[in-house]
Structures are given as structure tokens and as C-alpha cells.
A and B are shown apart, each in its own frame.
Chain A
Amino acid sequence: MSSNMVAILYLISALLFIFALRGLSHPESSRMGNIFGIIGMIIAVFTTLMFKSVLSYYEIGAAILIGGAIGSFIALRIEMTALPQLVAAFHSLVGLAAVFVAAAAFYDPVAFSIGKVGSIKTASLVEMSIGTFIGAITFSGSVLAFGKLQGTISGKPIVFKFQHLINAIIFLLIIFLIVLFVINQSPTIFWTIVIVSILLGFLVVIPIGGADMPVVVSMLNSYSGWAACGIGFTLSNNLLIITGALVGASGAILSYIMSKGMNRSIINVVLGGFGGEQDSSASKDNSDKIVKQGNAEDAAYIMKNADSVIIVPGYGMAVAQAQHALREMGDILKKEGIEVRYAIHPVAGRMPGHMNVLLAEANVPYEEVLELDEINHDFPMTEVSFVIGANDVTNPAAKTDESSPIFGMPILDVEKSQSVLFVKRSMATGYSGVDNELFYRDNTTMLFGDAKKMCEDIVKSLSA
């Protein structure tokens, strides 16, 4: 195949990837988009297999089958609640693959036409080491993020003295190593870069708390793209450069949206130390205030007599696996002629869009699921807000109390609805450690208990 033909096929593949992302602008076009992505990938793989230098079809075929079988097995079995971990794990593989491809190019530069062993072109060496560096960081950062999301590692931010200084020194050390590597092309230095970068990846994610993981997962998504870009430059391959840039941009935008949803700068999240379990001593003492408590029958009665209900689900709902019971509750209310909608805060899940997937899985029609800016102005016209497993994202202190750690965060204005039902396990504060004054308002009824059990009980009372 001529190199022009290859370039054209790669271009088609890149265009299909762009269409794959474009398809996601609407749920109805999204499935076609996914198919474009698959076709693009098939074209890219077969085009590469047609290269004259590629001869070992059996080995490559076997490798694809092994990888494909593992990937398919995991993807088909994974629970949707565990999606963030899965994505983190997948990112780590992209990072690792980038490191291996860079290493392969270093050991056999002839196969990639970038020079000979010991005399690889300078530009290629720089690109190769940058790809390796980003790949290795993506790998270890994602492994740690996976551990934190999965719960194998504590989600608490781990903060120690001179943390940022140490990271900065390590970063400078890596730059120094890259310069050294470009000069003497030593394998020892190459692997030192890999190891030090892996260490830096761990150190960068370690101070970031569990609840900040949406930003971290998005950021690692971005890194995995830049790693692909780095390799693309090494191999002078436009397809890799384009795809890497698309992925990099996507991850960067998602990180931006997530940090904005928490009213924090990306820098602030990256520096870490926020989130996890904090003592609530900072919050005002509310022990003397009275909380109105209710049970499932009260909730059923209140909602049955309303015209409109907005359900505000949070991560606690997902943890309790309450989405199916919740949807059943919504269905009964709808049958009674009540308008039921769902309001999703940008950081409601553990990754961007996570809550939407969980509700879709429970068969909630996506037309009923609305984003913060779409639904926030409707709260004053709503009779009942049903908050389940969410806390901080409804806290009016974000608008009024300048001393609050969540001040400035966009919130769902549930307090403007006529009455608020709060499903919570206890009076514990949210992850920000801030008390929610909504709990003590006259029009708020607290429903203490497990989210799933509560929904099931409400369903029972509603159908009784």
C-alpha cells in the first residue's frame, strides 16, 4: 500500500472518530456515533496490518484476541455503579500501552523509521520521552484513582509537608533526565524516566479526596489523550495526533465542567487536601435546633397530594442501589397524574454524567432527567422536592454564607419549593463537612433510613 493510501485511510479513521464524538450531542444519534468509532478503529488497525514491515499476523492476532476477550468480559460484567473505577482502570492501560510503544520505538527505531539504535533523531527522542512521561503518569495516577474509587485505598486525601515542593522537584528531575536521555540515549535513563514518572503519578493523585474523583478521572482521561499525542509525534502519525488531541480536549473540558460544578479551580482540586472525612467542628452548633422527622407514609401522603415533584438524586442514592425503587416510586406518582422530574447536579456522581447513566439503567426516560440550569428556575413552581442521597448540592449556605467551604458552588434551589423531603441515613454532614440549614426549616421533613428501603416503603404506602 502506498504511503498516500495509508494517509488517506488514517484520515478517514480520524474523521470517523470526530463523528463518534459528534454523535453524542443527542441520545438518539449517539449509538450511530459509537458505530462510527468502531469502524474508524477497524480501518486504523487493518491499514496498519497492511504495512510491508508487519508480518507476524499470528502473534498480533493472538494479542488482539487475548486483549479483546479480557476487555469484553469486563465491559459486559461491570455494574454501572462501578463505572468510574472501570474508566480509571482503562485509562491506566492507555498510559501503560503508551509507555510500551515508546519503549519499543526506542529499542527498534528502524521499525518506526526514526533512526538507528544509538543514533535516534533528537526530535524523536524528545517526543518519545514526553510520551513516556505522560503515559507513565497516566498509568500510576489512574491505578491510584481506581484504588480510591474501588475503596481498596482510603478515599481520604493524604497530605504531608512539602508535598508540592517535592512534586516540583521530581518534575524538574524528570526534565533533567529527559535532557540527559536525549544526549546519551541510554536505556538506563529511559527506564529511570519511566520509574520516576510513575512515582510522580502516585504523588499527584494521593492528596486528592474521594469526592473530588470526578475531576481526577476527567483529568486522567485528558492525560491519556496527550500521551497518545506524544506517541503520535514520535511516529509522525497524524491519526494518533488527531485522536490524542480530541481525547485530550475532551478530558480537559470535562475537568473544567466538574471543577466549575464545585466552584473550585482545577488548580485547587489538583493541589488537593479537600474532601474525605473531615471533622464538622467548623460548622455551627445546631444541636438545639429542631428537626421535623417523618416516615414513609408521611412522604407518600405529601407527594400524592402534590401536582409536581422534583427528585434530586445524589451519590448516596447510587451507593444504596436505590435507583430502581426510586423509578418505581416515580412511575406510581406519574400514574396519579403528578409531574415527576429529576434534577441532576454536575457533580452528582463519581464521574461526569454518572447519575444520568444510573437513572437510564433504571429505565427513567432521559426526557425527565434535567441538568441544573434547565430545571433550577422551576423549583419555585414545584410543590415537593425529594432529595435522596444528596446534601451539599442543595445547601443554601453556598449562596449566603461566605465563610462556608462550599460558598459559590452552584446549587439546586430545592429550598424554593413548597416542601422538601430529605432521605438521609443520619444527620451527618456531607463530604464538605458543612451542616445544611435546610434540615431545620419548617417546610423540610427528614426521612431517616436507607435510601432503597425508604423508596420501597413509600412505594408500598402509595399503592396501599
Chain B
Amino acid sequence: MEAHSSEVFVIGLTVFFLACIIGYYVVWSVTPALHSPLMGVTNAISSVIIVGAILAAGPQGFDTSKIFGLIGVVLASVNIFGGFLVTYRMLSMFKKKTKKTKEKD
């Protein structure tokens, strides 16, 4: 992706503010009971930063940048798997309880 500095920056800024507004409305619609899963999901998706880490780790050979990239991939993967899985665990507890089937555990 080529970058024509100022133009690209303005596009990024536009996207940024629109995304903030979407985020604002979407998050207020989240039911308070699910605020913990919300943190789990946001935690997982913020690791989309892995995209940058993959680009850095991409080239062949080994240099500083590649090592940093690979470390970034490991860290972000911990979060992606961990974040989605722990959210999955939380959400599966919020299943509608079918009457009296789980009386004793």
C-alpha cells in the first residue's frame, strides 16, 4: 500500500472519527450483564495488531525487524486465542437455563 502522506492521513482520520462514533453507539447498546465478555472480545480484536506484526515478520532472512515482528505475532496470538476462548467460556454460561435440568452439578 503506497502512502501519499497527508491525503492518507486525512482518510485515516476520517475513518478514525467515524469508527469512534460507531463504537460509541454499539457499546452503549451492550447489556450491562455482558460487560465482562465485552472486555474479552475487545481484548481479542485489539490484537488485530497482529497484521502489523505479520508484515514485519514476513520477509525472508533474519534481522532485528523480523525478530520483533515474530515476537509481536506470538504476543498477539496469545491474546487472540485467549480473548476469544475466555469470551466463549463466559458466554456459554449465559445460555438460557432449560428448566431443572442442571439442578445438581
User: Which A residues contact B (CB, under 8 angstroms)?
Assistant: 3, 6, 13-14, 17-18, 20-22, 24-28, 30-31, 33-34, 37-38, 40-41, 44-45, 48-49, 51, 53-56, 59-60, 63-72, 74-76, 78, 80, 83, 86-87, 90-91, 93-94, 96-98, 100-101, 103-105, 107-108, 111-114, 121-124, 217-218, 221, 224-225, 227-229, 231-251, 253-254, 257, 331, 344, 346, 349, 351-354, 356-357, 360-361, 363, 365-366, 369, 371
Contact = CB atoms under 8 A, between A and B. Distances in A.
Interface in B56-101: 56-60, 63-66, 68-97
Contacts of B46: 94, 224-225, 227-228, 243-244, 247
Contacts of B12: 232-233, 236, 238, 241
Given A37-B45, A56-B58, A87-B39, A236 B83 contact: no
A21 B54 contact: no
Given A71-B80, A105-B52, A243-B46, 18 more contacts: A21-B27, A27-B91, A37-B84, A44-B50, A56-B59, A63-B73, A71-B78, A72-B82, A87-B43, A93-B79, A101-B69, A108-B56, A236-B1, A246-B19, A246-B27, A248-B20, A354-B36, A371-B33
B3 A113 contact: yes
9 contacts: A13-B48, A30-B34, A37-B84, A75-B81, A75-B85, A108-B65, A112-B52, A112-B55, A356-B32
Contacts of A111: 55-56, 58-59, 65
Contact of A97 (B36, B45, B50, B89): B50
Contacts of A34: 37, 41, 84, 87-88, 91
A257 B28 CA distance: 10
B3 A114 contact: yes
B80 to A, nearest CB: 6
B51 to A, nearest CB: 5
A104 B96 contact: no
Mostly, the B contact residues are helix
Shortest 6 CB-CB contacts between residues of A and residues of B? A67-B77, A249-B23, A353-B35, A108-B65, A71-B82, A104-B56
A113 B65 contact: no
A406 B93 CA distance: 33
B64 A27 contact: no
Contact of B86 (A83, A97, A235): A83
A163 B31 CA distance: 37
B41 A37 contact: yes
Contact of B36 (A59, A83, A235): A83
Given A25-B29, A63-B57, A218-B39, A356 B34 contact: yes
A67 B75 contact: yes
A34 B86 CA distance: 11
Contacts of B32: 257, 344, 346, 352-353, 356, 371
A94 B47 contact: yes
A245 B36 contact: no
Given A22-B29, A104-B72, A357 B93 contact: yes
B16 A229 contact: yes
Interface of B: 1-3, 5-6, 8-9, 11-12, 15-16, 19-20, 22-24, 26-60, 63-66, 68-97, 102-103, 105
Highest count of chain B CB atoms <10 Å: which of A28, A352, A357, A369: A357
B82 A75 contact: yes
B30 to A, nearest CB: 4
Contacts of A44: 48, 50-51
Contacts of A217: 39
A357 B48 contact: no
Nearest to B64: A107
Nearest to B48: A243
Nearest to A226: B46
Contacts of A365: 96-97
A253 B27 contact: yes
A26 B94 CA distance: 10
B59 to A, nearest CB: 6
Contacts of A353: 32-39
A289 B56 CA distance: 68
B23 A245 contact: yes
Nearest to B34: A24
A217 B42 CA distance: 12
B47 A100 contact: no
B20 to A, nearest CB: 5
A101 to B, nearest CB: 4
Contacts of A54: 54-55, 57-59
Given A107-B64, A233-B12, A246-B42, A352 B36 contact: yes
Contacts of B63: 107-108
A439 to B, nearest CB: 28
Contacts of A108: 56, 59, 63-66
Given A45-B54, A97-B47, A71 B77 contact: yes
B64 to A, nearest CB: 5
Contact of A250 (B23, B91, B95): B23
Contacts of A227: 46, 49
Nearest to A232: B12
Contact of A24 (B38, B97, B105): B38
